Structures are given as structure tokens and as C-alpha cells.
Amino acid sequence: MGSELETAMESLINVFHAHSGKEGDKYKLSKKELKELLQAELSGFLDTQKDADAVDKVMKELDKSGDGKVDF
């Protein structure tokens, strides 16, 4: 059994991989996959956003390589 942090990281990775790969690379999230992940796993976050472009802004912030994908 791992530490609390190890368990949390494993959970994050599992959620990421549950949503990645539907549109190609199983190690990256497309914008559509990111939106689906946010809707399924962080719906409260999206519900409280007043900005209609919240997903676009999250994508831009996480897509450091500029390839239109988010990797873990």
C-alpha cells in the first residue's frame, strides 16, 4: 500500500487514461477528450465558470508544447 500521495497520483493517472486515446494517442488528451474529462470528473468546476471559454483556457494553459494535446 502506497502513501496517500501515491494513491492520489495513481487515481489521477487512471482518470487521465480513462479519457485519453479515444482520438489517437493514448498518452495524450485532445481538446474534446479534455472537455469530456472535465465534464465527467470536475463538473462542479465547469458549472461554476462564468466564462464560456473555460475549457479553451484550461487547454491553453496545459498544452505547453502547443500541439493541441495535453499529456501527463
Neighbouring-strand partners of residue 29:
70
19-68 per-position pLDDT tens digit: 999 998 999 999 999 999 999 999 888 888 888 888 899 999 999 999 99
C-alpha–C-alpha distance, residues 37 and 29, integer Å: 9
Q: What's 3-35 look like in SS3? A: CHHHHHHHHHHHHHHHHCCCCCCCCEECHHHHH
pLDDT of residue 47: 84
* Domain count of the fold of the chain: 1
Q: Rounded mean pLDDT of 9-23? A: 95
Give residue 63's domain range. 4-71
CATH code at position 25:
1.10.238.10
Residue 49 has what pLDDT? 82
Angle CA 18–38–24, to nearest 5: 45
**What does the pLDDT read at residue 2?**
86
**pTM of the complete model:** 0.80
